[in-house]
Amino acid sequence: MSNYQLDYLEQLEAESIHIFREVAGQFEKPALLFSGGKDSITLVHLAMKAFAPAQFPFPLVHIDTGHNFPEALNFRDALARKIKATLIVREVEDTIQQRNLTEPKGKFPSRNWLQTYTLLDTIEEFQFDCCIGGARRDEEKARAKERIFSVRDEFGQWDPKLQRPELWNCFNGKIHKGENVRVFPISNWTELDIWNYIRKEKIELPSIYFAHDRDVIANDGQLVAVSHFIKPSASDTVVTKKVRYRTVGDMTCTAAVESNASTLDEVINEIIATRISERGETRIDDRVTEAAMEDRKKNGYF
Amino acid sequence: MDLLRFITAGSVDDGKSTLIGRLLYDSKNILVDQLEALERSTKNKDNGEVDLALLTDGLRAEREQGITIDVAYRYFSTLKRKFIIADAPGHVQYTRNMITGASHAGLIIILIDARQGVVEQTRRHSIIASLLKIPHVVVAVNKMDLVDYCKDVYHKIVEEYKLVAAQLNLDNVAYIPISALKGDNIVEKSAHITWYEGVSLLNYLEEVKIENDINLKDARFQVQMVIRPQTNALHDYRGYAGTVLSGIYRVGDKVTVLPSGAQSTISKIETGGQEAVKVFAPQPAVIHLADNIDISRGDTIALSSSLPAIATEANVLLCWMDEKPLQQGNKYLLQHQSKRVRAVIKQVHFKIDVNTLAQQQVDEAIKLNEVAAASIKTAVPLVYDAYEKLKQNGNAILIDETSNSTVAAVLFR
């Protein structure tokens, strides 16, 4: 490579930083949706680079399902303190009470769907006109068609047929009052790009991404942690296994991967070698129907 | 490892989705559970073969109708390169999607059905490649299996396309005979096409030289935001944050701030929070100037040695992308990178037939998927280059102020 060429991670980083600065330039009240997972941690890192040496310019917003891993919550709080960002946490539990919503039933009750209500209420409460999210187009087929600037109507809904064309690196974030834009700065990154970038930039992650001992039950080939939220039934066998998490979602709908990988290098090697996708391996709630993600997005999910 | 973005274009049944599916599948970028989902979907159909096209048809509406209705982005990598594919549909009515995908592309694969040869859509896709100045073109003559891998059929199509390429001034055109369905010349060289001496498609994508595709001569930098922390420690800090669109900036360079025309010298450069002696396209940067000049979002900092055009009137090509037609005399917002200005379409000069490049008289409004040459006037001066010369600073979009939709792609002439 010549002296004037960027490698692929530098090019992806350049694009993401450009997007972050467009958000700062175009919106009045943006927020960064923070989950405590590796993608939103990478977003925070990119934003720090985009606005250095100024303060982190957006609040971090966490829509807490109440089913989160304690390690991820502790990490969230520590990170917000470290970068001196405002942290806004809103609980799905409160929305369920206030709005008298019905909790999903079953052994692995997912509050993913209910998160949408809390998110929309939070957007209204703070009048956010832009929510930055860590979704990637390689995650899932419906996401592959999402724009980087994705306009949502006042019900938070996404219409795949009415998306604005996105040309060159020119982003149109113009909206009417009441609408908002979801912006996805790492749209063009793959899971492996994220991991390689985390290694290159020495970004810290919550401990659950690395191998540790955990009590799990095997459910339909997936390992689910025994926790306050998942109680084993009589027919389950609880075993202690060395596991790590490949994604960090709810304890009720994120499966662990059996692994001995305790360093970034080892984790990356395992991900390169794996023959199963991130969502397929770790998300229990995506298997319901083939169009599950498309339906959730149309209704205002991230 | 570097990054190549490419777009695939073909008519409705040219096998575009199959080609992308095949590239992902044969380069081992499809994972087991995705393949199982594919097999489940395919089982509902009559023929038993796994339908690779299903890998890319993302939305339910598309799966049900069996067509692709929007641009989808796909990712794969080999040991040599990371690739981003913009999968744009081939239907007549979706020219707008192809232009969207093409605006990001460093290379285009134009698929030709070996049984059909060069057809109207081939010309249209080539014209779009030429208008948008995509640096590299690969003509993939597909379905060679259906013409018995016949050398003469292939050569006849190549000769036919060479005329199109010459007419459109397309440089860097490569030709490859393939069968996406059977996997011939996709990843491995085909055993059926022994007379072909070139490389496989993937091999070509991995090896094609792309490092000279960025203009490093004419330096352009548009300010996205002014960084002023205003803290005690950084009391006098004032940096201009943006992305280097083209060229190279070094500490000590003489620059001109436009449209004001103020001159200064670069006193400091930062990228990613670190000081640097130089930055180049497409790096993000924070530039500091030796003099106190009033600079805001949308202003351009250019090296004084090569300046862009500054004008409130410009000739442009408009690719219309909205259901609502263009009306001469209408006002729009023009967004040039980060700069948004009011603009009026003063006059539409002629339409360009995207199938023949012929200039047509304008007797009615410009409609969705049409391309027209027009002159515009803006409320404040624009700082731009001709797209032909420097595309990074020669593009813009039009926004309808009432709907906020992006209604046109703008190419400065």
Distance (Å, whole) CA A298 – CA A277: 23
Distance (Å, whole) CA A266 – CA A295: 36
Beta carbons of B243 and B284 less than 8 angstroms apart: yes
Mean pLDDT, rounded, of chain B = 89
A7, A22, A168: residue with CB nearest B2:
A7
A163 within some domain: yes
Neighboring chain B residues of A22 at a CB cutoff of 8 Å: 224, 338
Shared domain check, A168 and A242:
no
Q: Which tops the pLDDT comparison, A223 or A195? A: A195
Distance (Å, whole) CA B13 – CA B146: 14
- Report pLDDT digits (tens) over B360-389: 998 888 998 899 999 999 999 999 999 999
Shared domain check, A234 and A180:
no
Beta carbons of A152 and A182 less than 8 angstroms apart: yes
Mean pLDDT of A160-183: 89
Mean pLDDT of B152-156: 97
Mean pLDDT of B181-201: 94
- Single out the residue of B321, B340, B324, B337 nearest to residue B378, CA to CA: B340
Mean pLDDT of A14-20: 98
Q: Rounded to a whole number, what is the distance in Å from the CA of B152 to chain A's nearest CA?
A: 39
pLDDT for the residue B57: 58
Range of the domain at A125: 8-194+291-298
Shared domain check, A212 and A187:
no
Beta carbons of B244 and B280 less than 8 angstroms apart: yes
Q: Rounded to a whole number, what is the distance in Å from the CA of A99 to chain B's nearest CA?
A: 31
Structure tokens at B375: 């002159």
Out of A197-206, B121-130, B170-179, which region has the weakest mean confidence (pLDDT)? B121-130
Residue identified by tokens 């263009």 is B326
B259 upstream amide cis, omega within 30 of 0: yes
Mean pLDDT of B178-196: 93
Residues of chain B with CATH 2.40.30.10: 220-303, 309-412
User: What confidence category does residue A158 fall into, taking pLDDT thresholds of 50, 70 and 90?
Assistant: confident
Shared domain check, A118 and A251:
no
Locate all alpha helices (DSSP H) within B89-192, ordered by sequence: 95-102, 120-131, 151-167
Distance (Å, whole) CA A70 – CA A65: 12
User: What confidence category does residue A290 fall into, taking pLDDT thresholds of 50, 70 and 90?
Assistant: very low
pLDDT for the residue A297: 55
A200 within some domain: no
Structure tokens at A23: 């958000």
pLDDT for the residue A289: 46
Please count the residue pairs, one from chain A and one from chain B, whose beta carbons lie less than 8 angstroms apart: 174
Shared domain check, A95 and A51:
yes
Residue B59 and residue A141: Cβ atoms within 8 Å?
Answer: yes
Shared domain check, A229 and A179:
no
Percent of all residues in chain A with a pLDDT value above 90, rounded to a whole number: 49
Angle at A202 between CA A198 and CA A206, to 5 degrees: 70
Output the 3-class SS for B196-208.
CCCCCHHHHHHHC
Residue identified by tokens 């130089």 is B278
pLDDT for the residue B54: 64
- Single out the residue of A7, A3, A67 nearest to residue A36, CA to CA: A67
- Report pLDDT digits (tens) over B38-66: 666 665 555 545 566 666 655 555 555 55
**Has residue B231 got a pLDDT over 90?**
no
- Report chain A's C-alpha Rg in angstroms: 19
User: What confidence category does residue A293 fall into, taking pLDDT thresholds of 50, 70 and 90?
Assistant: low
A52 within some domain: yes
pLDDT for the residue A133: 95
Out of A70-74, A153-157, B66-70, B130-134, which region has the weakest mean confidence (pLDDT)? B66-70
Beta carbons of B270 and B239 less than 8 angstroms apart: yes
A199 within some domain: no
Out of B31-40, B90-99, B272-281, which region has the weakest mean confidence (pLDDT)? B31-40
A1 within some domain: no
Angle at A100 between CA A98 and CA A105, to 5 degrees: 125
- CA neighbours closer than 13 Å in the CB half-sphere of residue A183: 29
What top-level class would CATH report for the domain B309-412?
Answer: mainly beta
**Has residue A298 got a pLDDT over 90?**
no
Neighboring chain B residues of A53 at a CB cutoff of 8 Å: 227, 229, 234, 237, 273
**Has residue A299 got a pLDDT over 80?**
no
A60 within some domain: yes
Beta carbons of B59 and A294 less than 8 angstroms apart: yes
- Report pLDDT digits (tens) over B333-360: 999 999 999 999 999 999 998 888 889 9
- Report pLDDT digits (tens) over B212-223: 788 899 999 999
Homologous superfamily, domain B220-303? Translation factors (2.40.30.10)
- In Å, the largest CA–CA distance within chain B is 76
Residue B211 and residue A2: Cβ atoms within 8 Å?
Answer: yes
Residue B225 and residue A1: Cβ atoms within 8 Å?
Answer: no
Out of A156-160, A256-260, B145-149, which region has the weakest mean confidence (pLDDT)? A156-160
- Report pLDDT digits (tens) over A50-65: 999 998 999 999 998 8
Residue A165 and residue B100: Cβ atoms within 8 Å?
Answer: yes
- Report pLDDT digits (tens) over A93-130: 888 888 787 877 776 667 777 788 889 999 999 999 99
Question: CA dist A296 to A62, A117, A189, A300, Å?
Answer: 19, 12, 22, 7
Shared domain check, A242 and A140:
no
For chain B, say whether A163 makes contact (Cβ under 8 Å). yes
- Report pLDDT digits (tens) over B103-128: 999 999 999 999 999 998 899 899 99
Which of residues 12 through 71 in chain A touch B, CB cutoff 8 A?
12-15, 17-18, 21-22, 24-25, 48-55
Shared domain check, A108 and A42:
yes
- Single out the residue of B394, B248, B284 nearest to residue A21, CA to CA: B284
A256 within some domain: yes
Mean pLDDT of A133-156: 84
Shared domain check, A188 and A119:
yes
For B384, list phi and psi in degrees, rounded to 5: -145, 170
User: What confidence category does residue B207 fall into, taking pLDDT thresholds of 50, 70 and 90?
Assistant: very high
Question: Best of A148, A151, A170, A192 to disrupt the B interface by mutation (most B CBs within 10 Å)?
Answer: A170
Which of residues 123 through 162 in chain A touch B, CB cutoff 8 A?
137-138, 141-142, 144-145, 151, 160-161
Q: In sequence order, what are the residues at sequence separation of 6 or more whose Cβ sits closer than 8 angstroms to the Cβ of residue A82? A: none
Percent of all residues in chain A with a pLDDT value above 70, rounded to a whole number: 88
pLDDT for the residue A287: 47
pLDDT for the residue B81: 94
Residue identified by tokens 């089913």 is A67
pLDDT for the residue B113: 95
Shared domain check, A93 and A213:
no
Beta carbons of B212 and A4 less than 8 angstroms apart: no
Could you tell me the CATH number of the domain that includes residue A161? 3.40.50.620
Residue identified by tokens 């010369």 is B389
- Single out the residue of B413, B321, B400 nearest to residue B368, CA to CA: B321
Shared domain check, A120 and A224:
no
pLDDT for the residue A288: 44
- Single out the residue of A179, A128, A123 nearest to residue A154, CA to CA: A179
- Report pLDDT digits (tens) over B255-265: 999 999 999 99
A270 within some domain: yes
B3, B31, B321: residue with CB nearest A277:
B31
Q: What three-state secondary structure class fits A85?
A: coil
Mean pLDDT of B293-304: 96
Pick the CATH number of B2-207 from 3.90.1150.10, 3.40.50.300, 1.10.4100.10, 3.40.30.10: 3.40.50.300
Distance (Å, whole) CA B111 – CA B320: 24
For chain B, say whether A166 makes contact (Cβ under 8 Å). yes
Tally the domains of chain A. 2
Shared domain check, A186 and A39:
yes
For chain B, say whether A234 makes contact (Cβ under 8 Å). no
This complex has an ipTM of 0.93
